[in-house]
Amino acid sequence: MRFLKYTLLSFIIFSNTCFGKEFDKLFIVLEPIESLSQIEKSINNSFNTMIYRLSGSDSPSNIWRIINAGNTRKSFIKSYSIKNLDNESYLEVNFDKDLLIKVFNELSIPVLSNSRPVILFLIEIDPGTGVPYYLTNSQYNSELDNLLKNYLKNESTSRGIFLELPELDLIDLNQLNNYERLIDFEDIINEKYIFDELIKINISKTGIDQWSISGDINMIVNERDFINPIIEQFKKHTNSRINKMLMGNAINTSKKGTINISVANINSFQDYKKSRNVIENLVGLIDIDISRFEIDTVFYKLGIYGDFDSIVKEISESNFLEINSQYKDSSEINISFVR
């Protein structure tokens, strides 16, 4: 089991004020760096993270399959630089998408699109003293809170998935306390949050050294050191759910094809550059050629991995592309660029 030493600053959205399903900058990894002498170590760690993200698996076996096939970690890096963020030093590593997918395909390692699911965690904690509370990003009440939140942040960054905590206001809390039936409870959450799956956990202290965990995880802990068993079971359950969900986003790279797309709402050269960059970052893209221009629309011919349905899914969940119409028989997709 791998452990991340630091809480990484990630490129993903880890806030519940804005939701999205596209893992932005999938092929750029930020890795903490202690000193210039540690660059090699940070490069190795960033490569590991990149493989976890793209494969959807946190097993190190994929890393060794790639290396044992004669590939070096550095051969997949396009560029790297040192960034200072909040007085901390990070190595920003930009990976070669095309080479990664080529090697994954050669070794029959699954490749996931940059369309990633959102899992919302509703975790209620009753410490036995004081008022029970729901775990949020903005509040800190105990060591258990900190360990749970750090795990979700680290796992989001390394696996390339959105693991979200709610920010509940007083109205939300009153509603949750007033509803006991599951259907009413989930209706409240569904109204305010966008997610693919909801994980509900209740952690309660029931005795001097006894804790009860219910909901999606069920266990009793009768130990003075109750935190480690709870965290390990939480990781096990969450990892199982992540694996299941990510495998649904796999692209069949052994299949290749071509499609025609149009991108409307292009009103400037900047719009063109940004929209094209979004398309080029699609994991399922092999190559892109311009067919023609019209007043505010650019027409492309795309070479793709997978099939029509997989590229439609990846495009549809982009934050900057909106599908207006699609025609599977003629392999045509009409899109609008969203600023």
Q: Do 215 and 280 have their domain in common? A: no
Q: Do 292 and 206 have their domain in common? A: no
Residue 322 lies in a domain: yes
Residue 147 lies in a domain: yes
With the CA atoms of 282, 288, 291 and 295 taken in that order, what torsion angle do they form, in degrees rounded to the nearest 10? Answer: 40
Compute the average pLDDT of residues 127-141. Answer: 83
Q: Cα dist. 30→57, 228, 330 in Å?
A: 19, 28, 41
Question: Is the pLDDT higher at 65 or at 207?
Answer: 65
Q: Cα dist. 226→213, 218, 219, 220, 267 in Å?
A: 11, 14, 11, 10, 59
Residue in the structure block whose two tokens are 């680290």: 154
Q: Do 269 and 225 have their domain in common? A: no
Residue 163 pairs in a beta bridge with 119
CA angle 111, 117, 121 (to 5 degrees): 135
Residue 203 lies in domain: 118-232
Q: Do 171 and 262 have their domain in common? A: no
Is residue 294 a contact partner of residue 315, using CB atoms and an 8 Å limit? Answer: no
Boundary of a domain, candidates 112, 131, 166:
112
Q: Do 54 and 142 have their domain in common? A: no
pLDDT greater than 60 at residue 180: no
Compute the average pLDDT of residues 108-135. Answer: 88
Residue in the structure block whose two tokens are 């080529």: 102
Question: 258: closest CA among 330, 334, 314, 323?
Answer: 330
Q: Which pLDDT value is given to residue 13?
A: 33
Boundary of a domain, candidates 83, 112, 141:
112
The CA distance from 335 to 8, in Å, is 34
With the CA atoms of 140, 33, 227 and 182 taken in that order, what torsion angle do they form, in degrees rounded to the nearest 10? Answer: 60
Q: Do 144 and 102 have their domain in common? A: no
pLDDT digits (tens, 9 = 90+) for 73-111: 999 999 999 888 878 888 999 999 999 999 999 998 989
Residue 23 lies in a domain: no
Backbone φ and ψ of 64, nearest 5°: -70, -30
Q: Do 288 and 220 have their domain in common? A: no
pLDDT digits (tens, 9 = 90+) for 182-229: 445 667 677 778 898 999 999 998 888 889 999 999 999 987 788 999
Q: Do 142 and 227 have their domain in common? A: yes
Residues in contact with 255: Cβ distance below 8 Å, sequence separation at least 6, in sequence order = 305, 306, 307
Q: Do 199 and 129 have their domain in common? A: yes
Q: Do 71 and 123 have their domain in common? A: no
pLDDT greater than 80 at residue 303: yes
Residue 132 lies in a domain: yes
Q: Tally the domains of the chain.
A: 3
CA angle 94, 95, 99 (to 5 degrees): 155
Residues in contact with 295: Cβ distance below 8 Å, sequence separation at least 6, in sequence order = none
CA 219 distance to own-chain centroid: 28
Is residue 237 a contact partner of residue 283, using CB atoms and an 8 Å limit? Answer: no
- Whole-model pTM? 0.78
